[in-house]
């Protein structure tokens, strides 16, 4: 049988009688798939494997413990052979053909009237692959397609619009953390939801390149903010999310970093729930940790720091430990850098404490500026440091490969924690 002779279709077997002839593991797998489709399954086999026996004992199918007879095909809508005996399978197929019943002959795919594809489900999409009678090849292709759908590389978005006059089914909102900007750092779940979106409410930061991959009819609503400039107030963003979802749209709120780390995601989720809109939160790679890592700076390191604080301005600095062994991460802090450095110094942090600034983390234009608490504000002014940037304050900056040589006078070992080992040359 050539693949060109196959007419792909899907059978609705809900509540309809089907016959499985055979009692081994293959028959069990086929019977399970037919049960999942809602069919009324009868198995004819002298002996049944454990899996089939359990299904029968649970009352999920009927097992006839005997040899096949020609009248077994009577009344069936669909038949699957899996006896392992080519002669028996051929007889079942011939009896089915005589009654114009579709039958899968597991012993002879070339002569079979029907083939069973390799199947997978992603959301409400069912993938079925035939590969010229080569089941391993079909399974490999099926898995590749399913993975591409799961990761958002292939579109999952629904295309059919509701029929005019029909009741609108409420949509949903997904708050997706897009990470620091590199498209490779969005989660698989976030990428998948973005591929399903009808409306994307987008921040200025995050993986903006992914917006260009959206279908032309996906609406992108820009609500990006910059420090001190919020053209779309938060109350308006909340309203947009709910209004679009109540129109039946799948809405993705694409944020930079993580929606629950200084991203006001909690407010948006609460507003959606108050208005009866289903909301999902997809955590993202927060810039507070990932952007320093892009410059080789860990926020904790054995022998240097066992904790860290994330703040957005100098006002909160009075509440964090003013010690070089407690890392302070400043987000959106470039404009307040001089005041923040002075506040930490007044709280007792030594002036020679290392400070690193990472601009545009993970992007081609990434830049790292490293200095001390006393010098960093002047260095930032001279270099024209600008947001988006993450500022890291503490001894962990010494670990960065971008740190000047005199910062790296000791190797803080992970095998002997808390005991600096002097480097030898």
> Within 13 Å and on the Cβ side, how many CA atoms surround 298?
12
- Would you give per-residue pLDDT tens digits along the chain (425 residues)? 455 677 888 889 999 999 999 999 999 999 999 999 999 999 999 999 999 999 999 999 999 999 999 999 999 999 999 999 999 999 999 999 999 999 999 888 778 888 888 888 887 788 888 787 777 888 898 888 888 887 777 777 766 555 555 556 779 999 999 999 888 899 989 998 998 899 999 998 889 999 988 888 899 999 987 666 668 899 999 999 999 999 999 999 999 999 999 889 999 999 999 999 999 999 999 999 999 999 999 999 988 899 999 998 666 788 888 888 999 999 989 999 999 999 999 999 999 999 999 999 998 899 999 999 999 999 999 999 998 899 999 999 999 999 988 887 555 555 454 444 444 43
Task: Answer whether 177's CB lies under 8 Å from 165's CB.
Answer: no
Collapse the DSSP code of 298 into the 3-class scheme (helix H, G, I; strand E, B; otherwise coil) and give the result.
Answer: coil
> Cα–Cα distance between 142 and 350 in angstroms, integer?
60
> Cα–Cα distance between 72 and 77 in angstroms, integer?
12
b/e sequence 330-340, b meaning 16+ C-beta within 10 Å: bbbbbebbeeb
Query: The pTM is what?
Result: 0.66
> Cα–Cα distance between 105 and 92 in angstroms, integer?
8
The pair phi, psi for residue 295, each rounded to 5°, is -100, 15
Output the CA–CA distances (angstroms, integers) from residue 323 to 78, 160, 326, in the order listed: 74, 59, 5
The residues annotated as belonging to the active site are 203, 225
For 219, which DSSP code? E
């Amino acid at each position: 049988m050539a693949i060109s002779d196959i007419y792909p279709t899907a059978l609705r077997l809900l509540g309809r009688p089907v016959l499985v002839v055979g009692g081994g593991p293959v028959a069990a797998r086929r019977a399970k798939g037919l049960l999942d489709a809602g069919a009324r399954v009868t198995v004819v086999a002298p002996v049944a494997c454990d899996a089939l026996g359990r299904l029968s004992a649970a009352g999920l199918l009927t097992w006839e413990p005997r040899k096949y007879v020609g009248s077994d095909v009577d009344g069936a809508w669909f038949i699957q052979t899996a006896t392992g005996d080519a002669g028996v399978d051929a007889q079942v197929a011939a009896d089915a053909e005589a009654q114009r019943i579709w039958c899968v002959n597991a012993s002879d795919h070339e002569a079979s009237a029907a083939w069973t594809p390799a199947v997978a489900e992603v959301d409400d999409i069912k993938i079925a692959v035939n590969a010229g009678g080569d089941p391993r090849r079909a399974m490999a292709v099926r898995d590749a397609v399913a993975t591409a759908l799961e990761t958002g590389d292939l579109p999952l978005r629904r295309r059919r619009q509701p029929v005019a006059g029909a009741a609108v089914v409420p949509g949903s909102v997904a708050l997706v953390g897009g990470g620091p900007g590199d498209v490779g750092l969005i989660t698989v779940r976030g990428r998948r939801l973005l591929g399903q979106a009808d409306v994307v409410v987008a921040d200025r930061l995050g993986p903006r390149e992914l917006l260009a991959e959206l279908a032309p009819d996906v609406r992108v609503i820009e609500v990006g903010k910059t420090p001190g400039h919020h053209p779309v107030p938060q109350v308006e963003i909340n309203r947009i999310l709910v209004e679009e979802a109540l129109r039946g749209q799948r809405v993705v709120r694409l944020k930079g970093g993580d929606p629950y780390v200084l991203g006001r995601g909690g407010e948006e989720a609460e507003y959606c729930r108050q208005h009866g809109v289903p909301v999902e939160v997809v955590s993202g790679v927060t810039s507070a940790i990932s952007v320093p890592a892009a410059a080789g700076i860990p926020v904790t390191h054995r022998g240097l720091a066992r904790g860290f604080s994330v703040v957005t301005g100098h006002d909160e600095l009075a509440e964090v430990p003013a010690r070089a062994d407690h890392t302070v991460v400043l987000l959106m802090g470039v404009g307040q850098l001089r005041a923040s450095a002075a506040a930490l110094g007044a709280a007792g942090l030594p002036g020679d404490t290392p400070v690193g600034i990472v601009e545009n983390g993970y992007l081609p234009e990434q830049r790292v500026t490293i200095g001390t608490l006393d010098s960093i504000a002047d260095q930032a002014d001279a270099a024209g440091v600008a947001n988006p940037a993450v500022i890291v304050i503490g001894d962990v900056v010494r670990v960065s490969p971008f740190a000047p040589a005199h910062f790296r006078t000791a190797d803080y070992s992970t095998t002997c924690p808390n005991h600096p080992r002097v480097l030898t040359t």
